[in-house]
Structure 1
Amino acid sequence: MHASRPPEPQFQRNALAPGILAAIALFLSPLVPEGLGATIVRFAVAVLALIVAWFAVQAGQWWWTIVFLAVAVFWNPIVAVEVVYGVWAIGGVIGAVLFLTAGALIKNERTPS
């Protein structure tokens, strides 16, 4: 008889969906005109950054929490950080890469229900 091995743990990536949504918003943000459209993008990115930060806390990966709190502050629509367009474009690419990387790496062990 073979001794059965315990099943390997399964993981869930809760931050993946908000990470993908934020990356899409950031990649498309240069196409959005200033004004209301830019405010909506900032709001969406800031909220999604807080969601990813919360999933990082739940996964015990606190370093991502620090990163995404900074992202939420940088993209917040209430007290807007004013920088030149080129910085926003570079920041958008860096932010999108951060969101996609965190979405792939932040994972929790799936608990049986």
Structure 2
Amino acid sequence: MPKNSRPRQNAPAVGQRNALAPGLIAAMALLLGVVVLDGGGFTIVQFVVSILALIVSWFAVQAHQWWWLPVFIAIAVVWNPVVPLPFEGQWWLAAQFAAAFVFILAGILIKVPRTAATKASRAK
């Protein structure tokens, strides 16, 4: 057996980033929203962003990072397609990019510690 053929032992991760996938999807939707800002497809972007803001806020609550809650509740309200707020122009465009940055940042920073049950189920 060659020297370098030992099995590699990876250190187990101490946490999982549950908000990363919804944060990245929301950021992509927001960047797509810049393109369709004046069209009818923006309503779909608003639905996606507001729903994913609530999902990310739930993951923040699970991670005991309560300070994210007001940020994502505000995003859910501002991008709410049911009762839209009358935003337009450069401010709305800047808000799209700012919210995309916030979603990516939260996806990276919101981390839930793994429990023993999670580790045991991954070992199977």
TM above 0.5, one fold? yes
Deviation at 1:30, TM superposition (A): 1.6
Mapped to 1, the partners of 2:69 and 2:37 lie a distance apart of 30
* C-alpha distance in 1 between matches for 2:20 and 2:53: 12
RMSD: 1.6
Once the two structures are superposed, the pairs formed by residues 1-113 of structure 1 within 5 Å of their partners are 10-32=14-36, 34-113=38-117
CA offsets per residue over residues 9-30 of structure 1, 9 Å max, x none?
6100000000000000111112
Q: Report the TM-score, using the length of structure 2 for normalisation.
A: 0.81
Distance in 2 (CA, whole Å) between partners of 1:85 and 1:29 is 13
The answer for unaligned runs of 5 or more in structure 2 is 1-10, 118-124
Q: How many residues align?
A: 107
Structure 1, unpaired ranges of 5+: 1-6
The one-letter amino acid of 2:97's match is V
**Displacement over 6 Å in runs of 4+:** none
